[in-house]
């Protein structure tokens, strides 16, 4: 593969590097296997960093690779300060950081702070009795007089969020799997220990964190019941529709107002390193408001993302306007990080049933929105959701709710590098999830040789964003919609760029705002602008113009 690598960028200069950055998410189990065991690893990431550099991204986010029983594939941590042997070693992490920095890419890692594995030594000590030094490190509660759980809180993975422990004769809280007990952030020693974890990785050269379930850190100390959520307010943004988790308004099991105090402490730890964080806000009703709270000012998190564009339905022009208008209202002093796909949702090429032209449009759109951007491995190839047979499923979430919800394995199948073998160049062994046969013709090597391939479009869109500061860091004038066309301008200093997107297969005629405009973005399929400012947008076509 002949990859043109841009000159290395100095990762030490700009502490504001995160603003407008493009971050590439790597699910390490599925990116590149370097030793033939069928599981991707850190050495595999090192091997593929030249490819990642060729995309033009600013940073990588690596999903968890810590020591873990892998019941939730690394999101159940048993040692925060070591690498699970299946992924390699701390020396291999050093190699990732060294190679990435040499190529001008920053390295963010996925910190899972709200809970640990039940195999973590902290939990083993905490559950031993009610008087030891870590007895209060997890959320323990006595049963009700009838022996039932202390309240009505539910787990995202199904059933009660409380599990009985015979050693202490108490329940412990688990917002996710039973094997993922929640840490007690009301205990100062817990916060101190987790801040030490952040320092450990920052001292190893990590440039920042993706913070898993950032709004789940702190619970209501009074353990009050969550109220019921009216059916008309329910949605499946956070949990599948068949999950009763959607039947509650989650006022007390997460979103605690004191959570921001911990975030301020974390930001103070990160600040001397010039590190940045992006928080995952998991809330179906108030995600944008919480994002605004957690990113307000200069002493909390730099970025957060909510789930508005990770939802099931393709965003219409009006939906895009509504989301961005609400962000302006509730997070004007904050900073969003947008994503269309990640390791927890169906790939958006399938979720929104997008033809190739629409995939190009949405790739261009996300690079023009105010905020930073996350793209998920394989998104740049246009990979559809893989159909994983029940007998091949690994995800406990999918196994629990099959067949109405098939889980997350379909977006986690291995990255495809070569079309010439059944494993797509991912591994010489049997992959942990099967490589989808329909992915092979979309492999990197096949697209490198095809000038019109989506991979090249992503490179162009990322480069276009980087070459126009108005798109990366500028303000916008408020989004508007007319029919299926969403439009706005982005401005930074004396640079103003007009952006219009026809998010449908129906052609549309459109007038540019008054003024002199020079068409730009021809390589992204931008529409021709007539002398009178009239333009015709074909199906899934964009218009990009520079004010002169």
> What domains does the chain contain, in order, with CATH numbers?
22-115+188-466 (3.20.20.80), 475-547 (2.60.40.1180)
- Name the burial class of residue 530, with classes exposed (0-12), middle (13-18) and buried (19+) by CB atoms within 10 angstroms of its CB: exposed
Cβ–Cβ under 8 Å, residues 92 and 262 = no
Give catalytic status of residue 222 as yes or no.
no
**Dmax (CA) of the chain:** 79
Q: What is the pTM of this model?
A: 0.96
Measured between alpha carbons, how far is 30 from 13 in angstroms, rounded to an integer? 32
**CB under 8 Å to 159, separation ≥6 — which residues?**
none
What sign does the dihedral 336-101-61-270 (CA atoms) show?
negative
**Which DSSP helix (H) or strand (E) runs through 269?**
helix 259-270
> Helix, strand, or coil here: 529?
strand
> Helix, strand, or coil here: 343?
coil
Cβ–Cβ under 8 Å, residues 335 and 292 = no
The packing angle between helices 287-294 and 259-270, to 10°, is 50
Cβ–Cβ under 8 Å, residues 512 and 497 = no
Query: Which residues does the chain have with pLDDT short of 50?
Result: 1-9
Bridge-partner residues for 542, per DSSP? 501
> Helix, strand, or coil here: 93?
helix
Q: What is the pLDDT of residue 9?
A: 43
Instruction: List phi, psi (to 5°) of 248.
Output: -115, 150
Measured between alpha carbons, how far is 38 from 433 in angstroms, rounded to an integer? 8
Bridge-partner residues for 501, per DSSP? 486, 542
Q: What is the pLDDT of residue 8?
A: 45
Give catalytic status of residue 280 as yes or no.
yes
Query: How many other C-beta atoms can be found within 10 angstroms of the C-beta atom of residue 133?
Result: 9
> Helix, strand, or coil here: 21?
coil
CA 332 to chain centre: 21
Q: What is the pLDDT of residue 12?
A: 57
Q: Which of 212, 289, 380, 385 is catalytic?
A: 212
**Helices and strands, number each (H, E), in the chain:** 13, 21
Q: What is the pLDDT of residue 163?
A: 98
End-to-end Cα, the chain, rounded Å: 40
Q: What is the pLDDT of residue 89?
A: 98
Cβ–Cβ under 8 Å, residues 280 and 305 = yes
Q: Which of 72, 280, 283, 379 is catalytic?
A: 280
- C-alpha distance from residue 235 to each of 239, 245, 290, 407 (Å): 8, 10, 17, 17
> Rg of the chain's alpha carbons, rounded to an integer?
23
Measured between alpha carbons, how far is 446 from 455 in angstroms, rounded to an integer? 10
Q: What is the pLDDT of residue 510?
A: 86
């Amino acid at each position: 593969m002949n990859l043109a690598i841009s000159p290395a960028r100095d990762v030490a200069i700009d502490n504001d590097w995160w603003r407008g950055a493009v971050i590439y998410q790597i699910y390490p189990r599925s990116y590149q296997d370097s030793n033939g065991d069928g599981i991707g690893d850190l050495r595999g990431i090192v091997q593929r960093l030249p490819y990642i550099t060729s995309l033009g991204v600013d940073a990588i986010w690596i999903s968890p690779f810590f020591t873990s029983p892998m019941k939730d594939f690394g999101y159940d941590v048993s040692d925060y300060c070591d690498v699970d042997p299946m992924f390699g070693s701390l020396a291999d992490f050093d190699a990732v950081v060294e190679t990435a920095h040499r190529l001008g890419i920053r390295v963010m890692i996925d910190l899972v702070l709200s809970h640990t594995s039940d195999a973590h030594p902290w939990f083993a000590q905490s559950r031993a009795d009610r008087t030891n030094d870590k007895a209060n490190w997890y959320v323990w509660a006595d049963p009700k007089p009838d022996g039932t759980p202390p309240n009505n809180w539910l787990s995202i993975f199904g059933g009660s969020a409380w599990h009985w422990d015979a050693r202490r004769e108490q329940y412990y809280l688990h917002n996710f799997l039973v094997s993922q007990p929640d840490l007690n952030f009301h205990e100062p020693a817990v916060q101190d220990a987790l801040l030490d974890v952040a320092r450990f990785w920052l001292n190893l050269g990590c440039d920042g964190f993706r913070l898993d379930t950032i709004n789940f850190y702190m619970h209501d100390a009074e353990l009050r019941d969550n109220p019921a959520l009216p059916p008309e307010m329910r949605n499946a943004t956070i949990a599948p529709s068949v999950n009763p988790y959607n039947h509650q308004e989650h006022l007390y099991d997460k979103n605690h107002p004191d959570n921001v105090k911990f975030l301020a402490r974390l930001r103070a730890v990160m600040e001397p390193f010039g590190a940045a964080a992006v928080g995952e806000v998991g809330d179906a009703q108030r995600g944008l408001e919480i994002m605004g709270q957690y990113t307000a000012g200069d002493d909390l998190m730099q970025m957060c993302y909510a789930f508005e564009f990770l939802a099931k339905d393709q965003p219409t022009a009006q939906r895009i306007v509504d989301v961005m208008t609400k962000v302006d209202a509730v997070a004007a002093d904050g900073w969003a990080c947008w994503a269309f796909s990640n390791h927890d949702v169906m790939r958006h090429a399938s979720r929104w049933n997008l033809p190739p032209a629409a995939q190009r449009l949405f790739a261009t759109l996300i690079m023009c929105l105010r905020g930073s951007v996350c793209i998920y491995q394989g998104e740049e190839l246009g990979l559809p959701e893989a159909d994983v047979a029940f007998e091949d499923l690994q995800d406990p979430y999918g196994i629990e709710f099959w067949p109405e919800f098939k889980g997350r394995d379909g977006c986690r199948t291995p990255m495809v590098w070569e079309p010439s073998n059944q494993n797509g160049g991912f591994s010489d062994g049997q992959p942990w999830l099967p490589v989808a046969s329909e992915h092979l013709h979309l492999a990197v090597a096949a697209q490198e040789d095809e000038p019109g391939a989506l991979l090249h479009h992503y490179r162009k869109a990322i480069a276009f964003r980087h070459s126009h500061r108005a798109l990366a860091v500028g303000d916008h004038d408020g989004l508007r919609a007319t029919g299926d066309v969403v439009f706005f301008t982005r401005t930074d200093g004396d640079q103003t760029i007009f952006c219009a997107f026809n998010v449908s297969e129906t052609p549309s005629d459109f007038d540019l705002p008054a003024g002199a405009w020079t068409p730009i973005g021809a390589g992204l399929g931008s529409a021709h602008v007539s002398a009178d400012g009239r333009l015709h947008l074909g199906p899934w076509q964009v218009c990009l113009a520079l004010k002169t």
